[in-house]
Amino acid sequence: MIEPEDLRSHRWYGGGGLRDFSHRARSRQLGLNPEEHLGKPVIAILNTWSDINPCHLHLRERAEQVKRGVWQAGGYPLEFPVATLSETFQKPTPMLYRNLLSMEAEEILRSYPVDGAVLMGGCDKTTPALVMGATSAGLPAVFVPAGPMLRGHWRGETLGSGTDMWKYWDEKRAGTIGDAELSELERGLARSPGHCMTMGTASTMTSAVEAMGLALPGAASIPAVDSAHHRMAAASGMRIVELVWADLKITDVLTEAAYADAVTTVLALGGSTNALIHLVAMAGRGGIPLRLGDFDAAARKVPVLANIRPGGEHLMEDFYYAGGLRGLLSRIPDLLHLDRITVSGKDFGSTLDGALVHDDDVIRPRGNPVAAEGGIAVLRGNLAPDGAVIKHLAAEPRLLRHTGPAVVFEDYGDLRRRIDDPALGITEDTVLVLRGSGPIGGPGMPEYGMLPLPEHLLARGVRDLVRISDARMSGTSYGACVLHVAPESHVGGPLALVRDGDLVTLDVPGRVLRLEVTDEELAARRASWREPPPKYERGYGALYSEHITQADEGCDFDFLARAGTNPEPDPR
């Protein structure tokens, strides 16, 4: 336990110098008396709420509940609005700005008189960004997940945001539904605040953070509008004050064992491929080595137990009522590190005590898994020397061992213009290849990886092809989509050398992605390749392009991921 004079904030308020006098005077300008914050833990609430982020529409209200908890525990809350990263509306992709939010979070926590932080996020990139920034800042922290929205409905059918959007857009292009049905679907897909209620990137990452011990037990599974979510927010506010007094920092919680359990959790959930990029980046901020091979090794021994779309049948609301993440993890204790500390103050194993599963179809028992092995595989070969990723759980089994001729698109604009052109000769055997969509080439590695199928194949009932790109795809997406090909085409990765008609082999069981072209021919093509011009000439985009790492390294900035410390500010 620390004493009041040991609080970081005390350096701003507690002395007799000119700056202390100034800080106290300006606090009075805010309407505060010194006794309201002096000698008490000052808690920063980093809130990613905004008017254009439907996933976080309720976080303004939840921040008030966090504040209530902080007050009740004897702390003083300060709310900071930070970048919102709305997955739906921010272009070209919020992934371009994940590192910007992480920098903002780190520097706010470093530069202001705060002793601990409550991190409020959930929509895909906000979770890793906040954790990355808080890890670099090194203060005590608790994560408050935004929670999934309610399930969707249309004509008696249950809808999952994202997953059913892709599904019914294909049906519209195939001519099986019309504008009237599409208009009804617009009204039924997203019915409440909260992030996607499928096992997309949002639910995957908030669950991973809970499994690491940075959120209160059970927090990630609570629907956004459930009253339990209000109570969790207040309890998180109370808990962060206790963590400050205990001097339990975020780096004490996010250990190598915690990240190993995050990997296990993602795989058992049948989670998003985006988790690989985010967890590698998050771990790197703590100096913890996490590589693509760690995911692939774990995938061979971790069963998929969460029967949730897009790899399963149910939605997050069903998962919550079935027992939530605690219920799922209680079925794989032998695969977890149960003796590590969590922000609850208990060891991880104790947070699972009393966990029950109420529906064996939503959360499968070990003897009846959705899949015997994790639904994500890491591929390597001459087309992806630094790795590529596929969520094979969500692909048609016939395509998991496949060789076919490539049809190549230079970028997403080229894809949109030509995909329905019959002259391309695309068949069920074709391998669609998209380049120019990686971290630099995208820019920002947009979610283009679920390449659309040609209308003439959709009309014939075809719903999956092998698709390869250096892009990402939404965690709500599905199909035989090979993603994150590294190095990307924009920097001269082998994807830049593929030509129409080249045979490409995908072998998921063998973990192989291979271009059936001789080394000599590839060398000749490489000799004639020219690097594309930069996407940005100035500003944040130029900073991003000059310092972003590749997908296998987490797409962090090299100057943020490297080892080293920064001096604490001297407020006096």
410 secondary structure, DSSP code: S
Residue 133: inside a domain, yes or no? yes
**Amino acid 162: pLDDT:** 87
In a domain? residue 277:
yes
| Residue 195 β-bridge partners | 148
> Is the Cβ–Cβ distance between 220 and 210 less than 8 Å?
yes
Could you give the CA distance from residue 364 to residue 369 in angstroms, rounded to a whole number?
A: 5
Q: What is the dihedral of CA 372, 404, 532, 279, to 10 degrees?
A: 0
pLDDT in tens, the chain (572 residues): 999 999 999 999 998 899 999 999 999 999 988 878 889 999 999 999 999 999 999 999 999 999 999 999 999 999 999 999 999 999 999 999 999 999 999 999 999 999 999 999 999 999 999 999 999 999 999 999 999 999 999 999 999 998 999 999 999 999 999 999 999 999 999 999 999 999 999 999 999 999 999 999 999 999 999 999 999 999 999 999 999 999 999 999 999 999 999 999 999 999 999 999 999 999 999 999 999 999 999 999 999 999 999 999 999 999 999 999 999 999 999 999 999 999 999 999 999 999 999 999 999 999 999 999 999 999 999 999 999 999 999 999 999 999 999 999 999 999 999 999 999 999 999 999 999 999 999 999 999 999 999 999 999 999 999 999 999 999 999 999 999 999 999 999 999 999 999 999 999 999 999 999 999 999 999 999 999 999 999 999 999 999 999 999 999 999 999 999 889 999 88
492-506 CB burial, b ≥16 within 10 A, e <16 = ebbbbbbeeebebbb
The pLDDT assigned to 15 comes to: 87
Q: Phi and psi of 281, rounded to 5°?
A: -65, -45
CB atoms within 10 A of CB 520: 8
Residue 545 lies in a domain: no
Handedness of CA 545, 550, 551, 553 (dihedral sign): negative
Cα–Cα separations (whole angstroms), residue 85 to 59, 82, 93, 156, 536? 14, 9, 9, 33, 20
- Which contiguous run of DSSP H or E holds residue 166? helix 163-174
DSSP letter for each residue of 140-161 = -EEEEE--BPPPEEETTEEE-T
User: The CATH number of the domain where 522 resides is what?
Assistant: 3.50.30.80
The residue ranges of DSSP E strands in 105-232, in sequence order, are: 116-121, 141-145, 152-154, 157-159
Q: Are residues 55 and 33 in the same domain?
A: no
Let me know whether 34 and 46 are in one domain. Answer: no
Residue at a domain's end among 343, 367, 388: 343
Residues 24 and 61 in one domain: no
398 shares its domain with 438 = yes
Residue numbers of the domain that contains 328: 41-149+194-343
Same domain assignment for residues 203 and 86: yes
Residue in this structure with the two tokens 């990630």, named with its chain if needed: 220
Residue 448 covered by a domain: yes
How buried is residue 323: exposed, middle or buried, by Cβ count under 10 Å (0-12/13-18/19+)?
A: buried
Q: What is the pTM of this model?
A: 0.97
Rounded-to-integer distance, Cα 258 and Cα 560, Å: 21
Secondary structure of 218-241 in HEC code, one letter for each residue: CHHHCCCCCHHHHHHHHHHHHHHH
**CA-based nearest residue to 161, from 169, 170, 149:** 149
Looking at the structure, tell me whether residues 143 and 32 fall in a common domain.
no
Give yes or no: residues 56 and 121 share one domain: yes
Same domain, 21 and 112: no
pLDDT at position 33: 85
Q: Which of 511, 528, 545 is the last residue of a domain?
A: 528
Residue 160 lies in a domain: no
CATH of the domain at 213: 3.40.50.2300
What is the predicted pLDDT for the residue at 195? 97
With residues binned 3-state (H G I as helix, E B as strand, rest as coil), the percentages for the chain, rounded to 5, are 40, 15, 45
Helix ranges restricted to H, 286-375: 292-299, 316-322, 324-329, 348-351
Q: Write down the residue that tokens 């100035």 correspond to.
A: 538
pLDDT of residue 510: 97
Q: Is residue 364 in a domain? A: no
Residues 87, 218 within the same domain: yes
Residues 462 and 496 grouped into a single domain? yes
First to last CA, the chain: 25
Number of domains comprising the chain: 3
Is 100 found in the same domain as 77? Answer: yes
Type of residue numbered 260: A
* 157 falls within a domain: no
3-state secondary structure of 384: strand
Write out the H or E segment, with its range, that includes residue 491. none
> Can you tell me whether residue 10 is helix, strand or coil?
helix
Residue 84 lies in a domain: yes
Q: Same structural domain for residues 251 and 199?
A: yes
